[in-house]
Amino acid sequence: PTAGWWGALVGPGRALDTDRWFVVAPNVLGGCQGSTGPASRRPGGKAWGSAFPRLTQRDQVRAEVGLADALGIGRWALVIGGSMGGMRALEWAVGEPRRVGALLLLACPAAAGAEQIAWASAQLHAIRADPHWRGGDYHDAGPGRGPHTGLGIARRIAHVTYRSAGELQSRFGHEAQEGEHPWRGGRYRVESYLDHQAAKLVRRFDAASYVALVEAMNTHDIGRGRGGTRAALGRVRARTVVAGVDSDHLYPLVQQAELAAGIPSADGVRVVRSPYGHDGFLLETEQVGGLVRELLAGAPDQPGRRTGVEPA
């Protein structure tokens, strides 16, 4: 176990100050670490596998609304999220506008774009082409029988989209991995890096959950059934900051500009300066922390009422 992402953001005296606020961070529905997902057991004892229902971001937020109700939280002081978490944060503010006091959207779009769906498609094909995928019904096949090779390939593809070309070049360039020769079966340093990222994910994540969450991201469209994007964004009542990463080529700044233009309380796009590409929203905690503090500075403490902050 590690401190996880945003460890520098959450805690006593930090931007998400746990001396002042309750912080609620639910694991997403469809995941494999705490919530119900394809690996979970259904009535009768078998894993859900391929019978697990197709989910949208809106479905996942409905589950979070149920959680907030169960906890007795009628209104969030702040809902914050980046990437897929930003999609869910936006769904909160549009679908439950009276329950969101402030909103921080990081490196996310109003709807999944064609290029994002294309990258996702390559990842899904990699997993489903693995002979151990078995149509999604591999969980009861025995230890080590899952589509681990396909999941690793999907992770390699995804990780290239998370980082910037400049960062990869400056870190790895055209260099061979130490002690290896690419012309004689060895690897370049960047290949070793991607292998490491793939191995880490395969050890801790379920391929069917990966598929469920990627497909849920593909469905994201805040205007679906709401009269279009502009009408949906106009429903947001929360004080809002929209931010993007200047080197992000997966969810570029033009997508955050669309959000800022449509949300009544948003004042343009805040730019997080980072060489790290899309992952900058996770790594640039000092800059993100400044945005959090700005939003929470205007949030009154409400003794006697259950309030909190949800990092989606």
Question: What are the residue numbers of the active site?
Answer: 83, 248, 278
Could you tell me the two tokens for 192?
A: 């070793």
Cβ neighbours around 62 below 10 Å, total: 16
Q: What residues are paired with 41 via a beta bridge?
A: 47
Separation of CA 262 from chain center: 22
What sign does the dihedral 220-55-85-4 (CA atoms) show? negative
Contact 211, 68 (CB under 8 A): no
Task: Check residue 15 and report its DSSP letter.
Answer: S
CB of 36 closer than 8 Å to CB of 47: no
Amino acid identity of residue 289, one-letter, is: G
Separation CA 143–CA 183 (nearest Å)? 35
